[in-house]
Amino acid sequence: MGRPGDYLFKRKGSQNWWIRFQYTGKFRTLRGVSKVEFSLGTSNREEAEIKALDHISEHKRLMFTIKGFVNSEVTSKYLEYEPNRLHPTPDGGSIYAHEKTISVFNSSGVLVREEPNRRMVAVRFRLPQSDYRDVEPFLAKKEHPDSNVIEDWISQRGLNKHLANEAREVWRQLIKILNGRRLSNCTREHAKQLVRVLQEEGNKSSTVDKKVGHLRAAVNLAIQENRMKSNPFNNVVPKIDDKLDRQPLSDDDMATIRQNLHKLSLSDQLLWKLLATTGMRLDEPFSIMEEFREGDARYVIVGTKTKTSKRRVPLPTCILELLPPKIECPLFAGSSETAGKRLRYFLKQLQISYDKDKGTGDKRKVVHSLRHRAKDRLRAVRCPEDVQYEILGHEVRTVASGYGRGYPVFELRNWIDLVGF
């Protein structure tokens, strides 16, 4: 496995950066090739590194799998779905398993398809010690004995992937500070040390308070369940007014973006237009798996950040031609984090977002500024405040309050069509 940076190179006579993965010995035999290389379609090193992230991550996972397979032993064999019982699916449907086949039903109980019930094997990895250096970042770490404190809180709150990962990351940072101590031995000085670490990373006070707040809330839950006696994370973040107010993108910004939108991939163009026209948070489009209809209005349900963010969002008329006739699978591939990096780079290139290397752009203008712009556009056309809340997911409960309530979707669509991109 190559060192970081070894993957990217330039071909003679080409201005674009290429990515190369090489395989030798047992890896070449199992992979079936000795080398894979292709162009990343850009001459800019920073953009190439961003585009390469998913490819490198997948390559490392593949190498880890191959190493584990070569040095593994089968411990058991089983069917993917236990026969003679019904298995619920995340989309509200179900799967009935037989010995050799499975029958897949949609949420209405209609048979969609039949597939083989695949035979699976469980394996135990036996990696040589010399291999651990390369694959260690991908191996499961030994859990701290108190990890259930944060995991129980994440489960109880039903946090989305982004917030759950943020909570686990700040937990890992605390574990390093505790250096082997149990959570019951965590003092306010340890908590203050964590605050300093987060501040040194460049986090604003509000962000530090939010991250420490994950631990504070988790410990409060543990106290309620008599697993802890005190909370060292109460009132440890100093109150500093260093908040950077986000600015909505201006009409001139949007005009510049429209002129250069072709520089994005078709998928990122759709993502940008969806964010601009609906005011969704960046991660919300990546949760879209299906669509619904109310009359002739098409809509999706998004929002898992809080109970008040879960809502119906009409699909704007101006982007319907970019969408499939009916959304029946994930609308976007990859992760919101990687897509966000691409969009941030795009805004930096247009000198809209701040570029510290070039000293151009505005720190207050980011991808999230599209949400502020949507809010401003709705206010400017005198959209009632409760309708704004229902579209953007703020302060009051919408879908989460119960289906059958709220404004008709076609009315929400009429307002959302006024936002535009």
Statement: residue 5 has pLDDT above 50? no
Judge if 319 and 409 occupy the same domain: yes
- Torsion angle defined by CA atoms of residues 110, 112, 114 and 115, in that order, rounded to the nearest 10 degrees: -130
Statement: residue 275 has pLDDT above 90? yes
Rounded CA separation 188/205 (Å): 18
The answer to whether the beta carbons of residues 98 and 86 sit under 8 Å apart is no
- Tens-digit pLDDT profile for residues 188-204: 999 999 999 998 888 88
- Tens-digit pLDDT profile for residues 402-411: 444 678 999 9
Judge if 263 and 410 occupy the same domain: yes
Rounded CA separation 232/185 (Å): 10
Residue 63 lies in a domain: yes
Judge if 334 and 379 occupy the same domain: yes
Structure-model confidence comparison of residues 142 and 186, the more confident one: 186
Judge if 95 and 199 occupy the same domain: no
Q: Total structural domains in the chain?
A: 4
Helix, strand, coil shares, percent, the chain, to 5: 45, 15, 40
Cα 329 off chain centre by: 17
Q: Which residues make Cβ contacts (< 8 Å) with residue 391, sequence separation at least 6? A: 278, 279, 311, 313, 378, 383, 412, 415, 416
Judge if 268 and 357 occupy the same domain: yes
Judge if 117 and 207 occupy the same domain: no
72: pLDDT confidence band, cut at 50, 70 and 90? low
* Residue/partner pairs of 248-252 with CB below 8 Å, 24 or more apart: 248/369, 248/370, 248/372, 248/373, 248/375, 248/376, 249/352, 249/365, 249/369, 249/370, 249/373
The CATH number linked to 386 is 1.10.443.10
pLDDT of residue 67: 63
- Tens-digit pLDDT profile for residues 344-355: 999 999 999 988
Rounded CA separation 43/49 (Å): 11
pLDDT of residue 402: 43
Two tokens, residue 413:
């669509």
Statement: residue 161 has pLDDT above 80? no
pLDDT of residue 127: 52
Q: Which of 4-13, 40-49, 303-312, 335-344 has the highest mean pLDDT?
A: 335-344
Task: Count Cβ atoms within 10 A of the Cβ of residue 354 and give its class: 0-12 exposed, 13-18 middle, 19 or more buried.
Answer: middle
Structure-model confidence comparison of residues 92 and 140, the more confident one: 92
Residue 238 lies in a domain: no
Residue 386 lies in a domain: yes
Q: Which of 87-91, 95-99, 211-215 has the highest mean pLDDT?
A: 211-215
Mean per-residue pLDDT over the chain, rounded: 82
Judge if 370 and 318 occupy the same domain: yes
Judge if 407 and 269 occupy the same domain: yes
pLDDT of residue 133: 54
54: pLDDT confidence band, cut at 50, 70 and 90? confident
Question: What is the average per-residue pLDDT within 247-273?
Answer: 92
Judge if 40 and 156 occupy the same domain: no
Question: What is the average per-residue pLDDT within 391-405?
Answer: 56
Judge if 382 and 317 occupy the same domain: yes
Helix and strand element counts for the chain (H, E):
13, 12
Q: Which residues make Cβ contacts (< 8 Å) with residue 283, sequence separation at least 6? A: 160, 161, 162, 336
Residue 246 lies in a domain: no
Vertex 373 angle, CA 371 and 379, to 5°: 110
Percentage of residues in the chain having pLDDT higher than 90? 35
Q: Which domain holds residue 92?
A: 80-123
Statement: residue 66 has pLDDT above 90? no
Judge if 107 and 134 occupy the same domain: no
Statement: residue 4 has pLDDT above 50? no
pLDDT of residue 25: 72
Sequence-ordered alpha helix ranges (H) in 248-335: 251-260, 266-278
Statement: residue 56 has pLDDT above 90? no
Q: What is the pTM of this model?
A: 0.52
pLDDT of residue 69: 56
Statement: residue 293 has pLDDT above 90? yes
Alpha-carbon distances, residue 406 vs 85, 267, 375, 411 (angstroms): 38, 31, 19, 10
Judge if 151 and 178 occupy the same domain: yes
